[in-house]
Chain A
Amino acid sequence: MFDWMTFHGLAVELATREDVAAHRSAVSRAYYAAFHAALTHAERRGASLPKVEKHAALWQWFDPPPPIPGRTRLETRIGKNGRRLRASASVSKQLAESMQLAQSLLVDLDELGGMPRPR
């Protein structure tokens, strides 16, 4: 099975380069690492997500509007930060913040369900 955490390691490496293309790629990979970690958690919890618009649906599962009983504050934070990280993939000026956000998401997901630690 593909280890999506390798994407995070690659993202960190790409973020150290100087060119914009590498930075965009870094944020994109960091996002996918967080997305798949979150997806694994949601599916373990029995979430049934649609094939279309899966990204939006995943973060909505963590942080649905309006809220549903049983969602924790940690899940709310994961949902909101997941949406932010997804949106930041197109913003090239914010590499450091996006990478920090991805790291924070992975730490939160780890706390939530014993996911692999970010590298």
Chain B
Amino acid sequence: MRPTAERLLACGSEESFLAALDTELCRTEGLARLVAMMRELDGEALTAALADFSARTDESVDASVLVTTEELRDELRHGFEDAAKLARLLVGPTDSEFVRQTQALSQYDPQQLAAAGIAELGGPRLSPQDRRVGLAVLRSTGAMFVLAVAADTGRTMPLWMAELAVRLWRQGHEQLLAHYEHRSAPALREERSTPIASLLFSFVWLEPDALADILTREPATLPLLREIATNLPKFFGGSIDHLRLRPNLHTDGARDELAVDVCVTADAQGAPEALERFDEAWWFDAARASNIEIVVDLRRV
């Protein structure tokens, strides 16, 4: 995780940090490693370590994270307390909901599991609020890695980055604690969107690593994809089940292509006509802004 954290630590503003964080979250590597680590986790050891951290936050973190305010010190202390509480609740020796879920998921490959988690953010099953919470939990994991690498390498973080990372880290714990304690979750502290987050919420991503590569090389494609997601429902009404974004790599690899699948139900009426209206009224003109091929097509699900 160190190269990922190093890229984030090099960011110069909150906006660029969030954008870089979301770009990293699109890739399965980080999540896959986390899934693999969770399977190896010793819950009791983690609980003890976190309790120890929360007791001596000042000496363990002050040196590497620029803690210049009492507020940030308190945030860190509460963050470790929440993490310890979460660890006791989730990965302790009990037959917890989390342990059962982890065991149920253990048959899957970590990378496939990570890709499924990313795809779920844009899927039809989650409400808009659930998607925001899902992203907050993913961002919390990324922020945790940044804080851990900074602490481990002795890197001094600028105050704005430390505050943002701690805020992101803590809100993931808060949301998970509320979920597993069966109580209503507090409002998210930090939910600024980024172009990538917007696409994660708008499309079910297939092959996220390849998509992230294409979108990193062709950032001008991001606003166009967002516009596609906004415009399609205007022509299809409620017949869209979900939108799917995938690389369309049937070429020799020399060119990038993206495919947007407009997934409609098998019995949806008038979908081809709706696609034709979308083409003529908007897409044929809008597509001229793209440097790469984007194939927008119908799929019956």
The interface on chain B, measured as residues whose beta carbon lies within 8 A of the other chain's beta carbons, has a size of 26
In the complex the two chains form, is A56's CB within 8 Å of B279's CB? no
Does any Cβ of B come within 8 Å of A80's Cβ? yes
The 8 A-B pairs of least Cβ separation, nearest first, read: A84-B297, A93-B300, A67-B288, A83-B295, A56-B251, A65-B293, A97-B272, A66-B291
Q: Which residues of A contact B251 (CB under 8 A)?
A: 53, 56
**A96 nearest CB neighbor, chain B only:** B272
Does any Cβ of A come within 8 Å of B72's Cβ? no
**A60 nearest CB neighbor, chain B only:** B293
| Band of interface residues on A | 20 to 34
In the complex the two chains form, is A83's CB within 8 Å of B298's CB? no
In the complex the two chains form, is A100's CB within 8 Å of B272's CB? yes
Does any Cβ of B come within 8 Å of A44's Cβ? no
Known: A65-B287, A91-B300. 11 other contacts (CB 8 A): A56-B250, A56-B251, A56-B255, A63-B293, A65-B290, A65-B294, A73-B284, A77-B279, A83-B297, A94-B300, A97-B272
Interface of B with A (CB < 8 Å)? 248, 250-252, 254-255, 259, 266, 271-272, 279, 283-284, 287-288, 290-300
**B298 nearest CB neighbor, chain A only:** A97
Does any Cβ of B come within 8 Å of A76's Cβ? yes
In the complex the two chains form, is A80's CB within 8 Å of B252's CB? no
Bound complex: CA A93 to CA B279 (Å): 22
Does any Cβ of B come within 8 Å of A1's Cβ? no
Q: Which residues of B contact A47 (CB under 8 A)?
A: none
Residues of A63-87 contacting chain B, CB below 8 A: 63, 65-67, 73, 76-77, 80, 83-84, 87
Chain B nearest Cβ from A4, distance in angstroms: 22
Chosen A-B contacts, 18 in total, with CB atoms closer than 8 Å, are A53-B251, A56-B255, A60-B255, A60-B293, A65-B287, A65-B292, A65-B293, A65-B294, A66-B288, A66-B290, A73-B284, A80-B279, A80-B287, A84-B295, A87-B248, A93-B266, A93-B300, A94-B299
In the complex the two chains form, is B295's CB within 8 Å of A87's CB? yes
